[in-house]
Amino acid sequence: MRYFNYLSPEEEQSIFYLSPQLIRIDDQSLLEYALGATLYMPATRRTIAQDVVNGKLKGLMSMVLCLEDAIGDNEVSKAEKMLGYQIHQLTLALSQGSISVADIPLIFVRIRNVDQMWRITEMLGADVALLTGFVFPKFTANNGFLYFEALEKINKCQAKPIYGMPILESPEIIYIESRQKSVLEVKHLLDSYRKLVLNVRIGATDFSGLFGLRRSPDMTIYDISVIRSCIDTIINVFTRMDSGYVVSGPVWEFYSSERVLKPLLRQGPFTDNLGRAGEQIRDSLLHRYMDGLLHEVVLDKANGLIGKTIIHPSHIKPVQALCVVTHEEYMDACSILAGSHGNVGVIASQYANKMNEIKPHMRWAQKIMIKSKIYGVFHEQHNFTSLLT
């Protein structure tokens, strides 16, 4: 897989100081950072394969076909059959040369239970090679063992890894009296299967539902205090130095709405580089209520979350544009890593606007270098708006 492969060589050279690299899907150390905007869609959708073959989902690098909450309880059998059909259509398109492997996003299946995971694996047969993994909903230490025990057995018959992505969204994860114990138990379980864990995902919609809450498109998930406090715990346990899991940002569920609060996007980042065209892009984002999404992604990044669950194709470009490393971030990271020989403790930023402390900023710099390989680095005068035209 390679990000932004829809750009022409001229566009890529104009936008990127360092272009995104080709990522091998069997390189877990990079792949876990490389999901970008992960599009969820119900497995009952009839045009999944067609949309991939026709290039309708431009820029999409990962998607989840959902057999759980995105479909009705009476649609399970129909959804399973449709999923098998769509995966087989992609296999046929590959064999006929209609598309290449690089044209197919990473495919995950969100299952309801372990029995369904076995059923899907058996139904797909050789087509299971197109799957990158399964998503485990309502994940706890109690049901998680069953999921990963089965996944480990499935992998023994596969030529390439099939990963698991647990979603933390159950009552015992967020209720304050059980939260710490439950999250630590999940962490202990995942440590036993670390090579099969690609991401830890946060189910903010299910969490909100437990309290009868729903954020408005004017707000981010971090404005909902009970959800924010749970995210704090998940980040604390899974992303600390001795853990090193990749945790992804919660779903953004809006693509159109009426505005109540002031817009969140400044004009400068758009008009400075793109002039009138930038102003039109900003107006379009505001009209589709993308400013809330962009604000939340910025807060995801500030809190160490990588990638984001999305529910609409229009979210792909904004989310992934914000995944690209800025020139300033890259220069700071290079400076920090170059200064790790022990002769200095603090180095002035090349942008002359901050101090880079070698030891405290080392892990940040290492993550920036990983992301620079996957998403690339902008030229000095470019930012995320350059990829929204």
Please give the full DSSP string across 135-152, using - where no structure is assigned: EETT--HHHHHHHHHHHH
Q: What is the pLDDT of residues 357-375, one digit of tens each?
A: 999 999 999 999 999 999 9
Average pLDDT value for the chain: 92
Check pLDDT > 90 for residue 99.
yes
Distance CA 352, CA 107 (A): 43
Q: What percent of the chain has pLDDT over 90?
A: 81
| Residue 216 pLDDT grade (very low, low, confident, very high; cuts 50, 70, 90) | confident
Each domain of the chain, given as residue ranges in start order, spans 32-321, 327-387
Residue 262: band (very low, low, confident or very high) from pLDDT cuts 50, 70, 90: low
Q: Does the structure show a pLDDT above 80 at 257?
A: no
Average pLDDT over residues 300-313: 96
pTM: 0.91
CB 309 within 8 A of CB 249: yes
Rounded CA gap, 34 and 132, in Å? Answer: 12
Q: Which fold has domain 32-321?
A: TIM Barrel (3.20.20)
3-state SS class at 329: helix
